Amino acid sequence: MLEIEPLLLVVDDDRVTRLTITKVLTKAGYRVIDADDGLQAQQQIALHQPEMVLMDVMMPNMDGYSACREIRTRYDHQALPVLMLTGLNEMESIDKAFESGATDFITKPINWTLLTQRVRYALRTKAMGNALIRNQERLSQAQRIAKLGYWEIDILSGRVHCSDELYWVLGMETSTEVGELSSFLSLVVDEDRDEVESAIKIACESGGAFELEYRIRRADGEVITVQQQGQVNYSADGKAESLLGTVQDISERKAAEALIEYQAFYDSLTDLPNRRLFGDHLSHAISLAHQQHRQLAVLFVGLDRFKVVNDTLGHAAGDQLLCELAQRLKSLVRDGVTVARFGADVFAVLFEGLDAETDISSCASSMIEQMASTVTIREQEFFTSSSIGIAIFPHDGNSGEELLKAADTAMFRAKEMGGQQYQYFTADMNLKAQHRLKIEIELRKALERDEFQLFYQPQIDARTRRLVSMEALIRWNHPERGMISPLDFIPIAEESGLIVPIGEWVIRTACRQTMEWNRKYGLNLRVGVNLSGRQFTQPDLIEMVDDVLQKSGLPNHCLDLEVTESVAMDDIDSCIATLRQFKEMGIYSSMDDFGTGYSSLSYLQRMPLHTLKIDRAFVKDIGKNGENGEIARAIVAMAHSLGMNVIAEGVETEEQLQFLSAQGCDVIQGFYISKPLDVISFERGLKSLAA
Ligand code: C2E
Ligand code: MG
Ligand code: MG
């Protein structure tokens, strides 16, 4: 950077003095401008901003003192040094010069060597002063960013001095005099004051350092948390002189810490304790119950069909429902009973210190009753119900883990029984749960070990009685247990997610087999494949089906995908969208087990389905004890009015077949025609048809 020589202003009404000074200073390496009175000096300063002024005292228009005062008021700080040129040894004028704000003086007649020295030192002092101010400013700014201030107590007098930054942290005007230690202590909140006072006292007496966190009420009433570090300063002869304490506002950090802690132990949606906190409470309660030989109860409260709300109304509405139910549950129990959110749609309740009087059953019933009311979300009414599982300590488990598992198992059982009820845990449930687990483990291996097999059940045209299609039904050929019905393992596969790979295997195998038979026997058979809920919501379902059809070579219209009502109702809109895509691809779709679920006619109308399969329940009694098949008749009529075909399932007698075909039922499936057959038997049938 180019060094520019400092610019000086020389003010004197005597032209000769002015010129001489200018000459001397220019020679010494400065740039010089001049003015011949105080007024002109002001203009020069405004125009050129010199770094120093050399000023004569006696001048017309405005004398040196007034000019100096003017500079100080206008350009405030000491930043602009003013060197007064006074008469020799005129003490009075020297005093006056300093009073008007002069930095230094030099007596006339001027000693020229001294003048240059004085100027040089004045400029150097100014530079040092500037650097100091800059440092202080930076330090102060850094302290403000860190919300840090300090106080200092004079140990002898007890007087307190506070830094500007501390006033700022405290939200007080800088001029506010804290003065006494007691005034500072009065700002500390009541609960923390004694601790702060004694820490300061001990430090003053013992000369040690201390560190402390406490709360202060700011001038605006806000309470902040500060961190205090204190340390004693000693005089040269080793005497404790003062105690210096830094005070830092750490409220933001504290708030963040509190939030993190809250999130670790509470559910942010419902504000209830979370699983972790519940677990902590439970272990604590168990050790207490153990000591006092008392019982406690863990209840798992699961919402029935919560997924339906979530899927049909969206997650925001689902969240709102959860909050509403959490509040309700909380209001149902007395204080001291822990209610937590344990899973997405499961709450856990802990009843401690049970005695003979506590009636858990009636608590559970009233919970079920209260939770089973209608809630209104976005002007839509929802019927909610819940299922409760109950586990008792020490009867059902000795540890938290055992009790939680028992309550979960019991809740699962309550749901299995149709929901909206409570179940106590029983040892028998444990066996069932173990059995499930065992099946799940074995299911995982079954696919690799090729233990699955497809059976095919023929479906015939009701009028011509010719074979038109068949339904593929899975069997598990277990190495020890023999043939296992899908009813026993599909729900487990569904829950564990294993249904996805198993289901894909079913479609592949069924399509490949059907194509092979069609080709071999010149047929155009369609195969029905059951799709489970889990499979139906797979994002790549369409691609998977498309890929299977491509690879097997089976025409799209030869595949019929069966879904049940509950699958469709779980998420109606996306179900409709998926079915529509299948329809566009020319793939058939059927509503399986129709009449057993709870789908309404209005939904059915919107579903792009080809076929309704009347559930066996409406077929099995036809012809028995005067049962006239009214429901089956109505379903056939309704399906036809919606442009759908009808398949009757579970037809076991000629009478049923006659009746159903008289009603216009299109296709018949059931033991009367044939049981589901393994590949060899089915093919034997095809051969005989071809013969
Ligand atoms: P579904 O789809 O309604 O299948 C019809 C069930 O009724 C079959 O039982 C069949 O054997 C039985 N059935 C057929 N005709 C008669 C009859 O005249 N009388 C009686 N009493 N029963 C008859 P299955 O094979 O045990 O299958 C039971 C259920 O398991 C199926 O009901 C279906 O929901 C499910 N399932 C079977 N295979 C699969 C599969 O590959 N994937 C999926 N996701 N589910 C499957
Ligand atoms: Mg089926
Ligand atoms: Mg069925």
What would the pLDDT profile of 224-282 be if each residue is shown by its tens digit? 999 989 888 888 888 888 889 899 999 999 899 888 888 899 999 999 999 999 999 99
The per-residue pLDDT for 215 is: 94
Distance CA 263, CA 267 (A): 7
Per residue in 501-519, pLDDT tens? 999 999 999 999 999 999 9
Residue 535: which residues within 8 A CB-CB, separation 6 or more?
Answer: 499, 500, 503, 504, 541
More confident residue, 176 or 153: 153
Residue whose token pair is 């097997």: 552
More confident residue, 335 or 584: 584
Q: State mean pLDDT over 355-381.
A: 79
The per-residue pLDDT for 78 is: 58
The per-residue pLDDT for 600 is: 64
Percent of the chain with pLDDT over 90: 50
More confident residue, 364 or 73: 364
74 falls in which pLDDT band (50, 70, 90)? confident
More confident residue, 73 or 387: 387
Distance CA 409, CA 437 (A): 12
Distance from the CA of 372 to the center of ligand 3, in angstroms? 31
The per-residue pLDDT for 598 is: 62
Residue 270 CA to its chain's centroid (Å): 13
When mean pLDDT is compared across 258-262, 346-350, 372-376, the lowest value belongs to: 372-376
Choice from 473, 495, 681 to test ligand 1 binding pocket (greatest atom count within 8 A of CB): 473
When mean pLDDT is compared across 107-111, 386-390, 560-564, the lowest value belongs to: 107-111
CB atoms within 10 A of CB 330: 15
Cis omega before residue 394 (within 30°)?
A: yes
Distance from the CA of 459 to the center of ligand 1, in angstroms? 13
Which tokens belong to 227?
């961190």
The H-or-E segment that residue 376 falls in is strand 374-377
Position in ligand 1 atom list of the atom nearest CA 506: 41
Residue 119: which residues within 8 A CB-CB, separation 6 or more?
Answer: 8, 25, 28, 30, 52, 54, 83
Please determine, for residue 160, whether its predicted confidence score (pLDDT) is greater than 60. Answer: yes
Q: State mean pLDDT over 336-346.
A: 92
DSSP class of 373: S
Distance from the CA of 575 to the center of ligand 1, in angstroms? 22
The per-residue pLDDT for 529 is: 98
Q: State mean pLDDT over 604-619.
A: 91
Distance from the CA of 559 to the center of ligand 1, in angstroms? 17
- Tell me if 261 sits within 8 A of 253, measured CB to CB: no
Q: State mean pLDDT over 338-348.
A: 94
The per-residue pLDDT for 622 is: 87
52 falls in which pLDDT band (50, 70, 90)? very high
Torsion of CA 238, 240, 246, 247, to 10 degrees: 170
Per residue in 201-213, pLDDT tens? 888 888 788 899 9
Please determine, for residue 562, whether its predicted confidence score (pLDDT) is greater than 90. Answer: yes
Position in ligand 1 atom list of the atom nearest CA 535: 44
When mean pLDDT is compared across 313-317, 437-441, 486-490, 513-517, the lowest value belongs to: 313-317
Q: Which residues line ligand 1 (CB under 6 A)?
A: 457, 473-474, 485-487, 490, 503, 506, 530, 532, 562, 592-593, 616, 649-652, 669-671, 676
The per-residue pLDDT for 189 is: 94
Distance CA 482, CA 449 (A): 14
More confident residue, 122 or 314: 122
Nearest CA to ligand 1 atom 45: 530
Distance from the CA of 459 to the center of ligand 2, in angstroms? 12
Nearest CA to ligand 1 atom 2: 530
Q: Checking phi first, is residue 383 left (phi over 0); if not, alpha (psi -120 to 50) or beta?
A: beta
Distance from the CA of 616 to the center of ligand 3, in angstroms? 7
- Tell me if 11 sits within 8 A of 37, measured CB to CB: yes
Cis omega before residue 109 (within 30°)?
A: yes
Position in ligand 1 atom list of the atom nearest CA 669: 15
Percent of the chain with pLDDT over 70: 96
Distance CA 378, CA 23 (A): 91
Choice from 530, 545, 560, 596 to test ligand 1 binding pocket (greatest atom count within 8 A of CB): 530
Q: What's the Cα-to-Cα distance from 58 to each of 100, 118, 405, rounded to whole Å?
A: 14, 21, 101
Residue whose token pair is 């559930």: 615
3-state secondary structure at position 548? helix
- Tell me if 240 sits within 8 A of 232, measured CB to CB: yes
Nearest CA to ligand 1 atom 4: 473
The per-residue pLDDT for 386 is: 93
Rounded to the nearest 5°, which phi and psi values hold at 469? -160, 180
The per-residue pLDDT for 423 is: 94
Per residue in 391-439, pLDDT tens? 999 999 999 999 999 999 999 999 988 889 999 999 888 788 788 888 8
What's the chain's Rg over C-alpha atoms? 47
Position in ligand 1 atom list of the atom nearest CA 613: 3
Which tokens belong to 177?
């005099």
> 226 has which bridge partners?
214, 249
3-state secondary structure at position 239? coil
- Tell me if 351 sits within 8 A of 363, measured CB to CB: yes
Distance CA 65, CA 302 (A): 90
Please determine, for residue 311, whether its predicted confidence score (pLDDT) is greater than 80. Answer: no
3-state secondary structure at position 18? helix
Please determine, for residue 77, whether its predicted confidence score (pLDDT) is greater than 60. Answer: no
Distance CA 22, CA 116 (A): 11
- Give the chain's mean pLDDT: 89
Q: State mean pLDDT over 521-536.
A: 94
The per-residue pLDDT for 173 is: 81
pTM for the whole thing? 0.54
Cβ burial of 485 (10 Å; 0-12, 13-18, 19+) is exposed
Which tokens belong to 587?
């793939």
Residue 45: which residues within 8 A CB-CB, separation 6 or more?
Answer: 9, 53, 71, 75, 80
**Structural domains in the chain plus CATH codes:** 7-134 (3.40.50.2300), 138-256 (3.30.450.20), 268-429 (3.30.70.270), 436-690 (3.20.20.450)
Residue 248 CA to its chain's centroid (Å): 30
Please determine, for residue 90, whether its predicted confidence score (pLDDT) is greater than 90. Answer: no
Q: What's the Cα-to-Cα distance from 499 to each of 486, 503, 662, rounded to whole Å?
A: 11, 5, 38
The per-residue pLDDT for 647 is: 97
Q: Checking phi first, is residue 378 left (phi over 0); if not, alpha (psi -120 to 50) or beta?
A: left
Distance CA 454, CA 350 (A): 48
The per-residue pLDDT for 501 is: 94
Return the closest-CA partner of residue 564 out of 587, 609, 534, 533: 533
Distance from the CA of 88 to the center of ligand 2, in angstroms? 121
Please determine, for residue 478, whether its predicted confidence score (pLDDT) is greater than 70. Answer: yes
The per-residue pLDDT for 55 is: 92
Q: Checking phi first, is residue 231 left (phi over 0); if not, alpha (psi -120 to 50) or beta?
A: beta
Ligand nearest the Cα atom of residue 613: 3
CB atoms within 10 A of CB 676: 19
Distance CA 174, CA 164 (A): 6
Q: How does 68-93 read in b/e, with b if 16+ C-beta sit within 10 Å?
A: bbbbbeeeeeeebbbbbbbeeeeeeb
The per-residue pLDDT for 157 is: 83
566 falls in which pLDDT band (50, 70, 90)? confident
Ligand nearest the Cα atom of residue 676: 1
Per the document, the length of the chain is 691
Return the closest-CA partner of residue 29 out of 2, 11, 3: 3
370 falls in which pLDDT band (50, 70, 90)? confident
Distance from the CA of 265 to the center of ligand 3, in angstroms? 46
Q: State mean pLDDT over 565-581.
A: 83
Ligand nearest the Cα atom of residue 615: 3
Please determine, for residue 380, whether its predicted confidence score (pLDDT) is greater than 80. Answer: no
